Structure formats: C-alpha cells, structure tokens
Amino acid sequence: MARVVAKALHSRRHPILAQIVPVRRCNLSCAYCNEFDRVSRPVSTDRMIERIDRLAALGTSMVDLSGGEPLLHPDLDALVRRIRQCGMMAGLLTNGYLLTRDRIHRLNRAGLDRLQISVDNVMPDQVSRKSLKVLDAKLQLLAGHAEFDVSINSVVGAGIGPPADALVIAERALALGFGTSVGLIHDGGGGLIPLDTERRKVYDSAVALARSFYSHAHDGVFQRNLIDGKPNAWQCRAGSRYLYVCEDGLVHLCSQQRGYPGVPLDQYGPEQLEREYDSVKPCAPFCSISCVHRVSLLDEIRTHPPDAIERIVATGRQHGQAPPVTVKLLAWLFVTSRHRDTFRRLAVRAFRTGS
C-alpha cells in the first residue's frame, strides 16, 4: 500500500483504483441496492483478462472486483492472479455468503491483497440479509484462514437496521482482528440520506473505533459535513484517478453515475484521464461514495500537502476525535514542529515532481 500511495503522490497521470464487475448477478437482493440483477451471466474469463491487462497498461495501482457478487464468477481466482501478475493490488468486495474455508485458501493462493465485506445489521431484515447473525461464521473462517487484509464496513443511515447495530458490528470486527470503517448509506445518485440524532451518536462511536489514517481523514474531511447536511467543497477525480468498469467493459464515473462517460475501456486513454481529472461533477457536494473520496484525498495531499494535512488534523480535533498515530506524526511535522516550514517546502517539492 505504501507503494500505491507513493506513486499516487508522485504523479497524477494514472488511475489509483479501478472497480471492475466480473458478474452483475447477486445471490442477495438488498432493498437499497441498484447494482445487481438476478439473471446475467458472468463475463468470460478471456474478456476479464483483457480488461485487467488494459487497466495495467493505463498504470492502475489497485483493482477491486465487485458486482453483483464477484464470488459467483467461476474463475475469480484466475482474475485475482492476473491482477497480481500485472503488478497491481487485488481487492474483493463481497457479501461474504459464499465464502468457505476452501474458497479462502484459494484466494490466499491467488494472491488476494484485501477483502471488504459490508455488514448492514445484526439480525437479517426485509432491507438486508447481510447480517452479523448470518455472517459471523464466515468472519470467523476469515480470521482463522485469510492471509489477506480483511475490512468490515458497517453502515449508518436512514432505512437500514437499528442504528446501534453499526457499533456492534465494528466491535466484533475489531475483536476478530479486522480493520473497520463506517459508511453513510447513499441514495441512487451517490448523495446522502440525512442522519437523525440517534444515528449521529452511533456514527461518532463507530468512527472512534476505526483508527486508521484514512478513516480519520475521510471522516473529518468528508463525512462530518454530510451528516450535518452541509456540502463538501472537493474535486471528484472519478474517471481519472478512479474508474468504474461495468460488465459490458464500459468506463463510468462511479457505480451511482453509470452512463457517463460510458466509453469502452479499450478506447479509454490518457486524453480521457486528463479530461476527467479536472471535470466538475455536479453531484460532488453531497456525494457519499467513500472510495472516490479516499483516492481524491491523495490528490489534495499531493497538490497542497500542508493545507490538506492541517485540515485533516483540525477537523478531527473540532469533532473531538482522537487522531491515530500517523495523523499525530503528520500534525507534528507540518503544523506544530519548529521546522514545519522546512518540512512543508520538502513535501511540496517531493509531491509535485512528477505531476
């Protein structure tokens, strides 16, 4: 991951993360989801390999396989292996239902780097069956056998589970040794459904448990404003630093803005990457798509390192969140140290070299 961050900070001319769909079908049907169907067949392995190779040729650092449910693809291990052979990090976004001990060992052997499961509630309900009750056995299998990083995402938002569930899920994930993150449920355009007081309290407690640099930064810079109903001023880099490649091999801005640009991946190149880097997305102020926030944050740090770090430190403090060690170190280097001007000059020079 350090290599991915270093490459992203050094240059803006490649995608940091691509999400690619090997099968649109899903074995579940969560009520809030607009990213699955019940009928489509898996994309052929040859086609998927061509798409992975094309992403590598564009200089992509990380490829996440998503869906639908990617474990429904019969050759998923081969796809993971190809991503790794191309020198990219391989990730898997799954609902976890189809994980078995054997499946986890196969993913280990294929070289999977990271896996994320979203757990929506403690008990299954009409909205979602991605519940801790059903998935806990799968999480225990992962804790015992996975050689890749596992992250459990809980969600807070209107219309999903009892609010306190997000905290129970985050605590269980930590007890099993996994990373955690807490997301805000988004509407069909990527925007936010506002949180009530009870959900805000749960959100605060769950975020306090997720103590990585990215969770802290993402919370302070993006999610706080959204749960307060305020817009974020940021440049969405979707279509450039983040690509969403659907089952038909078309590049879209993200899962919630499918249809634009809708260009076949084999015709997507430096010209499109450059155009979308600076294009203004009208949906950005209230966007809650966390993976795009996170890659865009790297460009904010790359272009204005001292200001971005100061903002991450300040917003966390303002909301009473204790910063993780990495944020404390950056705060010392760029904000409180006697030599902060020197560190700032060095950072500006280092990050801008390859831009």
95 binding ligand SF4? (CB under 6 A): yes
Tokens read off for 336: 């409180």
Q: Is the peptide bond before 161 cis (omega within 30 degrees of 0)?
A: no
33 touches ligand SF4 (CB under 6 A):
yes
Q: How far is the CB of 331 from ligand SF4 (least distance, A)?
A: 28
**Pairs from 169-177 (Cβ < 8 Å, separation ≥ 24):** 169/119, 169/122, 169/132, 170/206, 170/209, 170/210, 171/209, 172/132, 172/136, 172/139, 173/119, 173/139, 174/209, 176/139, 176/140, 176/142, 176/143, 177/143
Task: Give the shortest CB-96-to-ligand SF4 separation in angstroms.
Answer: 9
Stretch that binds ligand SF4, among 24-32, 100-108, 131-139, 302-310 (CB under 6 A): 24-32
If you ran DSSP here, which 8-state letter would residue 112 be given? -
Query: Judged by CB under 6 A, how many residues of this single chain contact ligand SF4?
Result: 25
Q: Strand pairing partners for 258?
A: none
Q: What does each C-alpha distance from 289 to 97, 155, 218, 249, 285 come to in angstroms?
A: 24, 12, 11, 21, 11
Q: Does 355 bind ligand SF4 (CB under 6 A)?
A: no
Strand partners, 94: 117
Give the contact letters, 204-243, x = binds to ligand SF4 (CB under 6 A), - = no: --------------------------------x-x-----
User: Between the CA atoms of 51, 52, 54 and 58, what dihedral angle is there, to the nearest 10 degrees?
Assistant: 140
Between residues 131 and 321, which has the closer beta carbon with respect to ligand SF4? 131
The one among 283, 335, 348, 350 contacting ligand SF4 by CB under 6 A: 283
DSSP 139-196: HHHHHHH--SEEEEEEEE-TTSS-TTHHHHHHHHHHHTT-EEEEEE-B-TTSBBPPP-
Site string for ligand SF4, 258-277 (x = CB under 6 A): --------------------
Stretch that binds ligand SF4, among 10-18, 33-41, 101-109, 315-323 (CB under 6 A): 33-41
Q: How far is the CB of 279 from ligand SF4 (least distance, A)?
A: 9
Inter-axis angle of helices 165-175 and 197-209, nearest 10: 10
**Which of residues 10, 35, 106, 258 is near ligand SF4 by CB under 6 A?**
35
Q: Taking CB under 6 A as the rule, does residue 98 contact ligand SF4?
A: no
Q: How far is the CB of 31 from ligand SF4 (least distance, A)?
A: 9
Is 26 a binding residue for ligand SF4 by CB under 6 A? The answer is yes
Residues from 113 through 172 that contact ligand SF4 (CB under 6 A):
130
Nearest approach, Cβ of residue 341 and ligand SF4 (Å) = 34
Contacts of 294 (CB under 8 A, 6+ apart): 214, 218
For tokens 């898996």, what's the residue? 42
The CA–CA distances, whole Å, from 334 to 286, 300, 354 equal: 29, 15, 22
Cβ closest to ligand SF4, residue 76 vs residue 313: 76
Which listed residue (284, 298, 312, 313) binds ligand SF4 by CB under 6 A? 284
| Interacting residue with ligand SF4 among 73, 216, 281, 344 (CB under 6 A) | 281
Q: Which of 292, 301, 308, 333 binds ligand SF4 (CB under 6 A)?
A: 292
Residues 56-75 that bind ligand SF4 (CB under 6 A): 67-69
Q: Name, in order, each residue with C-beta under 8 angstroms of 282's C-beta and a sequence gap of 6 or more.
A: none
Our CB check for ligand SF4 shows the closer of 188 and 320 to be 188
List of residues contacting ligand SF4 (CB under 6 A): 26, 28-30, 33, 35-36, 67-69, 95, 130, 190, 236, 238, 253-254, 256-257, 281, 283-284, 287, 289, 292
